[in-house]
Structure 1
Amino acid sequence: YTSGTTGRPKGAVATHHAHIGALTNSLYFAALSALGRGLVPGQGPIPVGLLTFPFFHVAAFTGFYRAMAVGGTLVLLRAWDTDTAIGLVRDHGVTAFGGVPTTALQLLARAAELDEDLPTLTSVSTGGAPAPPELVARLTARYGERVEPANGYGLTETLGGVTANFGAQYRTWPQSVGRPAPVVETRIAGPDGTEAPEGEVGELWLRGQSLISGYWQDPEATGAVFTPDGWFRTGDLARVADGGRVTVVDRIKDMVIRGGENVYCVEVEAALHEHPDVLEAAVFGVPHPVLGEEVAAVVRVRAGAGLGAAEVREFVGRGLAGFKVPAHVVVGEDELPRNATGKVLKRTLRENWPTP
C-alpha cells in the first residue's frame, strides 16, 4: 500500500515480473557502486545491513533484495532509536546503513556526540524522503571517503529505487537523486505532457519493468496516474541536467505559490538543514488573504541550542531569495510527527497550524 501521507493509502498491484525488475535495478546500482570504488562486483566481504525501514515500506525491498542476492545479513530495528542503532552497528559489525534522511542525520549527530567512529560502517544510504545536501557534507566531514554516501528515488509504485546517486558523484552533485537504471525511462513533462527542455522543471514521469500495474480495485485512481502508453505520473516536480541526472525539487501538492512566485519546499528545507543546530525541518504553505499562500516552517533544533525564529529566518535569508524565506517559523526541541516509515506528516502540521 502507498504510505498515505498525501491521501488515503491505495493498494499497489505488483506482478512477479515487476519485482524481478526491482531486484535487477538494485543489483545494477550495487555493481555500479562497487566499480566506482575500484572493486569487483560480487567479491569482497559479505555485507551486513542495518534495515530501519519496516517491511511494509517499499524502501525495505531494496535492502532485502540486495542482501538476499549476495547472501548478506540484515540487522532489523523494530522502532527507530539512535542509541540502539549505534549499538547494533557496533555489536553486529554493520557495514551498510539504510534509512530516511532524518534517521541518518540523527545517527551522525549522536555518533559525533559520543565520539563513536563506527569503524565497520562503509555506506550510508537514504531514501523515502528528499535528502538535504548537508547530509553528504556532514558525512564526508566526519568520515572522509571511508563511508560511501548514497541516495536515490523510488516510490511504492516503482517497488523501490529506480535512480541512484552514490560515492564521488553524490559528493559532486549532492542535490541530485542520480541517474535512472538502464531499464527505466524518465520524462520531465510539461503541463501538456510533452517533454520539457533540459534543465527546466516539470512533472517526473517514469516507465519501466518495475512499475506496478495499477491500484487494487481502483480504476479511477489508476487512470489518473497512468497514461495509455504506460507512463506513470509521479506527482513530483523535477528537472534533468548534468548528463542525465535527476533532481527532485518538490511534490506538486507541496509547492507553495506565494503571490505568483513558486517556492519549492525542498529547497527551503535544505537551506534550514545547513544550520548546525537544526535537526529536522518541514516547510509548507499557509493561507494568506492577499498573497494566496505564505511560507511556513517548523524546525526542530538541538537541545539547549537557544535558536529562535528570528535567527532561523536571518540564517536562511543569507542564501534564499526574500520571497522564499519562511514568513512564519516555529522552533522547538520535540520530534516532528512522522508516519511508521519515517516521513514527516506535513498534513498534520498544517492541520495544527495556529489560525490568525
Structure 2
Amino acid sequence: MDVSFAVWAMTIVGLCALIAVDFFVGGRKPHEVSIKEAGIWTSVWIALAVAFGLGLLALGETQASGEFFAGFVTEKSLSVDNLFVFVLIMAKFAVPTIYQQRVLMVGVLIALVLRAGFIAAGAAIVSTFSWVFFIFGGFLIWTAWKLIQEARADEEEEAYEENRFLKLVERRVPSTDKYHGTKLFIRENGVRLMTPMLIVMLAIGTTDVLFALDSIPAIFGLTQDPYIVFTANAFALMGLRQLYFLIGGLLKKLVHLSYGLSVILGFIGVKLVLHALHEAGVHVPVISIPVSLGVICAVLVVTTVTSLYASKKLGVETPEQAEAAAKDAQESDDVKR
C-alpha cells in the first residue's frame, strides 16, 4: 500500500484527536470506571477500528484491509496478556482506584510512542534484509514454546519486578511514596519530588516494550506494510485502558489464554518461515491473509470457550463474585446471631 506523507500526517492527527476526545470526555476527571462506561468505550474503539478497516476496503485496498483486521485481532489478543501484568503493577504501587484510568491512559500513550520506534526499526530491517524473517519466525516459535512451558508450570502467583530503566529513574530522581492526586511532581521543603503517579505510568509504558518484542514480529508476519502495522497497533492499544476495567475481573477465568496465544504466535512463526523460504526461491505453500485471520479468530474463540468451561468446573471466582459471596456469608452469620 502506497501511503503518502499527507496520509501519514492525517492519520496521526486523527488518532491524536480521538485520544483527546477520549481524555476530555471520559478520562479528564479522576473517577472509578464502571463496567458500563468501560463497555461503551471498548465498543467505541472496536467500532472505530472496524470502520477504519472497512474504509480501506471501500478505497479498493482489499489486501490492506484484510491485513489490518488480521493485525488488529492479533495485537488485541496479545494485548490482553498485558493486562495481567498491569494488574500486578497496580497492586505493586497500590494505585488508588480513582487514579488507575489516568495511569493507564498515559502509560498506554508512552507504550504507543515506544512501539512506533520499534515499528520504524522493524520496517527498515525487513525492507533491507529479507532473511530477517527466519529470525522473526524462529523467535516467535520459541516464544510460543516458552508460553506453553510457563502455562504448564505450577508456579506461585507472580509478582511484578521493576525493570532496569525504572530502577535507574528511582535512584537518580528524588521521589515521595505518597500520592498527591494526579500530580507527577510536588515540592516539599524546596525539593522537587517525583510522585508514585509518574513512576507507575513509566512502569506501564516501559513494561509494554517487553510485550512488543513478540507482538511486533508477529504482526510483521501478517503484513510488511508499516502503515498497517502502526494503525493496527494504535487501535489495539488505545482501547486497552477500557478493556482493563471491562475484563479485569474475568482475567483469572481465562485459564487457557497462554495456550491460545502460544498457538497464534507459533502459527505466525511458521507463516514467517514459509514466507522467508518462498522469498529465497524454495517452492513451499504460502499462508494467505484470509486463512491467517480465520485461524487466529478460531483459536481465540476456542480458547475463550474452553477457559470459561474449565474455570466454571474449577470454581474460579471473579473479585466481584468473591465479594458478593463474602457479603452473603456475613449476612447469613448476622441472621444466625
Asked whether the two chains share a fold, i.e. TM above 0.5, the reply is no
Say which structure is richer in strand.
1
State which structure, 1 or 2, has the greater radius of gyration over its C-alpha atoms. Answer: 2
Say which structure is richer in helix.
2
1 or 2 for the larger relative contact order (CA 8 Å, sep ≥6)? Answer: 2
Which TM-score applies when normalising by structure 1? 0.27
